[in-house]
Amino acid sequence: MNPLEIHVNGEPVQTQAAHLQDLLLERGHALTSAFACAINNQFVPRVQWPQRALVQGDRVDVIAPITGG
Amino acid sequence: MHQNLESMDGSWQVAGVTLASRMLLGTAHYPSLQVLSDAVGSSCTEIVTVGLRRLQPESGGGNHFWQKVQSLGCHVLPNTAGCHSANEAITLAHMAREIFGTPWIKLEVIGDDYTLQPDLIATLEAATQLTRDGFAVFAYTTDDLVMAQRLHGAGCAAVMPWAAPIGSGRGPMNPYALETMRRRMPDAVLVVDAGLGLPSHAAQVMEFGFDAVLLNTAVAQAGDPVRMARAFAQAVSAGRAAFESTPMPERSAAQASTPTVGMPFWHAQ
């Protein structure tokens, strides 16, 4: 299968992952950590990660806590 | 000593919780996480704000910071800082709710990158949607009275006008507008957010009757953030006590403090 060409946090990425959760694991994210995901600016709840299919051109954002005012 | 200071002025409520401290504290720009932790302790604040950014797995993913924040024992108020549209802010709020497990959101939608002035139209749009989605919205806004009324009418848990641009430390640029907002919105929770630089600035707006102040840079970038946090807490407490004590009215002419009855002979002629 040809890899999907998507963007993750603004960077172009080629991936074999078919679903969001596969992508997160492929990129080394510990699934129990404090972070959240959006695809194409739409929030994807954690419970949907295993089923959320990726398609060509998806823009994935993975965000985490930082200091803030 | 800290406990006594906070108990002098009454508690207040926001978003369903009762709080003793009237000071909210941001978590950015401190020299270290330990200084942040010490500043939170010395201020006795019960609400800290946090941000969200793209995760870099190699940096540890923000979990160290998040663990430190959790250890503070404070309510967490995530923000939407950096968002430039209602849709961005709404998406980020939903992500924050999942990460932090709270419906609280400090809504910021920036309209101008130089002044960091909020986009009030987009802020109202996002606030309206987020309250429908079950969020307790703390809306960052300017000192515009009508927009503050609209945000309150949209169901915001707190309306948070700026005193001056974020991080400027200039203090209230338009005290009249802030004072008028407080008078015109007696039932709203009003928190002054942004632009305070000195404890006297905080005391001033608390004397107007604001429910609380939100601080970050003025504490974090002080030479001694821990001591400055305490100084702000004392000023906030003093300002609130002054408001509750009903300050005397201003007069246009002098009025002697010492009674004139029984004055000695040397003014009799």
pLDDT tens per residue, range B80-125: 999 999 999 999 999 999 999 999 999 999 999 999 999 999 999 9
Q: Give the pLDDT mean for A14-28.
A: 95
Structure tokens at A26: 């492929």
What was the pLDDT predicted at B192? 98
Q: Which residues of B touch A69 (CB under 8 A)?
A: 26-29, 49, 51, 79, 81, 166-167, 214, 216-217
Residue of chain A whose alpha carbon sits nearest to that of B80: A68
pLDDT over threshold 70, residue B6: no
Residue pair B236/B202 in contact (Cβ under 8 Å)? The answer is: yes
Structure pTM? 0.91
Q: Which residues of B touch A32 (CB under 8 A)?
A: none
What was the pLDDT predicted at B56? 75
Residue pair B62/A65 in contact (Cβ under 8 Å)? The answer is: yes
Residues B194, B223: Cα–Cα separation, whole Å: 19
User: Residue B49: CA atoms inside 13 Å, Cβ hemisphere, count?
Assistant: 26
> B68 catalytic, yes or no?
no
Contact with chain B for residue A12, Cβ under 8 A: no
Reported for B1-6, long-range contacts at CB under 8 A and 24+ positions apart, including other chains, are B2/B42, B2/B44, B2/B233, B5/B44, B5/B233, B5/B234, B5/B237, B6/B44, B6/B233, B6/B237
Cβ distance B53 to A69 less than 8 Å, yes or no, reads no
Q: Tokens 């004055």 appear where?
A: B263
Q: At what angle do helices B33-43 and B225-244 cross, to 10 degrees?
A: 20
Q: Which residues of A touch B56 (CB under 8 A)?
A: 9
Q: Is A12 helix (H, G, I), strand (E, B) or coil?
A: strand
- Which residue from B26, B63, B94 is facing A34, i.e. has the nearest CB? B63
Residues B246, B230: Cα–Cα separation, whole Å: 25
What was the pLDDT predicted at B264? 76
Instruction: End-to-end CA distance of chain B: give it in Å, rounded.
Output: 55
Structure tokens at B87: 């849709």
Q: Tokens 């009508």 appear where?
A: B146
